[in-house]
Structure 1
């Protein structure tokens, strides 16, 4: 597979950092204008937060990113040093932030790993593996957390009822089914029968109105076979470590919002479970958002899902949530990207081997 460097650089262009930022600012201003409960007194509410809960939220962000860095090193059999792994994760998150959530930063991740000295086939395999693990966390974890939420996962929101009716629940289960099917097929293709997967793929794209994509399907099938070879013979410890890291990453991601909401409201243990569960719904909604980093979509649904816990603090909490979980990666990406380009493309010979 050949990667077009020019196209990847267009995706990684730090100038694009302003696109989602401006969209986010516009959404915030629109929310401010349309919401009669948002005023000077409301905005002052940011200072009512519990400092310890805010520090806990920041800690969860740090733990999540540390988990990502640790996992990419383990997945690549420690090919990356700690420093190079940090660069990879920051740029991966940056690419996800400046592209629509439905696209994500996967293609850019393959490119970055390849430029870090990992052969293209292995880079593809490692990226696919992390994507499968992330999807399987959702597929396997969602039924468990939904069970403990005891039917309180879908918010009682008049706005959602007027705009979506019962379609939010329908959208979730359809999306969940599609993610389950996709994750199962990818896992079987990567770990069990990659050649059978390629054969089925070619049969599918032999249909007359799909034939024009048959060459790409053949190439993708070859990539799956090559990627599958990378994981043969891996011991049990390898799999337990990266699975454990994946669970740790996603729990840290979700606990951050639990900590933020706790900064403004007294939350019971069961309410913590409900908040955690509702983030699963939000994650699916944000994944199908067409805007960069789900800008606008995230802010709108946050208010509908968590207003019952925050009431007058909903607006300021949504701002803090995005400031903690999204905008830092735009800034870090704009800082790290030029340095990474100089290191990889202009000082490659001077840099010690990983």
Structure 2
């Protein structure tokens, strides 16, 4: 069997899909049972359906933005139909892997099997990671300054928990910043120097077992860097603008869900967006697939102040809209995509 096919099937195994589902369901059940909040589910009938519909529309717009971005990055090599496959499977990969790992390896294989050379596939995936991380790096300080400290939840929380939350944020932010600036240096400034540095580090005795991987990763960085050279200012501008668009849409979706249950002012809308940004930076170090279980448990601490009794309902709706559909859609798209790309490969080999 093709090694790439093995990697895809291993990444999307039924067990890896089942684990986040069980974790998410267990955390959700605990939220309702711990304080006898099962009756709170009736609150769904009080929702403003216009805002719920707006949340779904924002989700569709966000995914369309992702499709536009990947199609633009590939210089329209991907058709809109192929872009749908790529984004659905990419989101699927992110949903079944820990947030700290992400679906980048699988995404590279997906693009490669769509007919994009390996070097370019690596370049596009690495560049999207840099774009997304730069959004966090630049937006987080703005959120902290704009909210004057209110971005961290304090209502009804133990001071020690608040300190741990802040520590988790700063650790996560620091790791993202270090990783991102290393990637920028490696991709756009001195890729060969970065490879040399990796080999130098892995020449240390207790790190030598990673030397082969360091050599391979260094080569991948050089390939990716070569592919990104020579693009126009318009190429970079559209990539940046589309990144801003998809992340703003991603965060505003939660505002729609909260507004469906409670009246919130413009300043509260901005505070919710700011908290959502901090929330997801903290969640990036989650060790469970797609943050399953951890997101559900941490959500009330960040947004319970706005929602009150509706907090548990909204977190369930939020995950039902933004997480579980990709597990279902990925399970539908994956078999058809495997049949398409690997079947095409077998036909080519037969002709040869």
After superposition, give the CA deviation of every residue in 1:59-117 in whole Å (9 maximum; x if it has no partner).
11011100110000011111110000100000010111111212111110011111101
CA shift, 1:127, in A, is 0.5
User: 195, 200, 206: which one pairs with 1:209?
Assistant: 206
Moved >6 Å (runs of 4+): none
State how far apart, in whole Å, the 1-side matches of 2:193 and 2:277 are: 33
**Structure 2: gaps spanning 5 or more residues:** none
Q: How does 1:1-354 map to 2 (within 5 A)?
A: 4-14=4-14, 16-36=16-36, 38-40=37-39, 42-159=40-157, 161=159, 164-347=161-344
What RMSD in Å do the two structures reach over aligned CA positions?
1.7
Instruction: Indicate conservation of the 8 Å contact 1:14/1:334, yes or no.
Output: no
State how far apart, in whole Å, the 1-side matches of 2:55 and 2:242 are: 19
CA shift, 1:15, in A, is 5.9
State how far apart, in whole Å, the 2-side matches of 1:136 and 1:188 are: 13
State how far apart, in whole Å, the 2-side matches of 1:160 and 1:89 are: 40
Change (3 A) 1:203 1:348: closer
CA shift, 1:3, in A, is 5.3
Moved more, 226-235 or 277-286: 277-286
Change (3 A) 1:171 1:18: closer
Change (3 A) 1:254 1:165: closer
Secondary structure of 2:231's counterpart equals coil
Moved more, 16-25 or 259-268: 16-25
State how far apart, in whole Å, the 2-side matches of 1:169 and 1:253 are: 23
CA shift, 1:165, in A, is 4.5
Moved more, 179-188 or 238-247: 179-188
CA shift, 1:159, in A, is 4.3
Instruction: Indicate conservation of the 8 Å contact 1:149/1:270, yes or no.
Output: no
CA shift, 1:339, in A, is 0.7
Moved more, 146-155 or 81-90: 146-155
CA shift, 1:31, in A, is 1.6
Change (3 A) 1:204 1:3: farther
Moved more, 140-149 or 114-123: 140-149
TM-score (norm. length: structure 1): 0.94
Secondary structure of 1:166's counterpart equals helix
Change (3 A) 1:22 1:171: closer
Change (3 A) 1:14 1:81: farther
After superposition, give the CA deviation of every residue in 1:9-68 in whole Å (9 maximum; x if it has no partner).
1112356433222221121112211023x132x111011111111111111101110011
Instruction: Indicate conservation of the 8 Å contact 2:140/2:278, yes or no.
Output: no
CA shift, 1:168, in A, is 1.1
Instruction: Indicate conservation of the 8 Å contact 1:257/1:321, yes or no.
Output: yes
Change (3 A) 1:339 1:139: same
State how far apart, in whole Å, the 2-side matches of 1:182 and 1:333 are: 28
TM-score (norm. length: structure 2): 0.94
**Structure 1: gaps spanning 5 or more residues:** none
Secondary structure of 1:308's counterpart equals helix
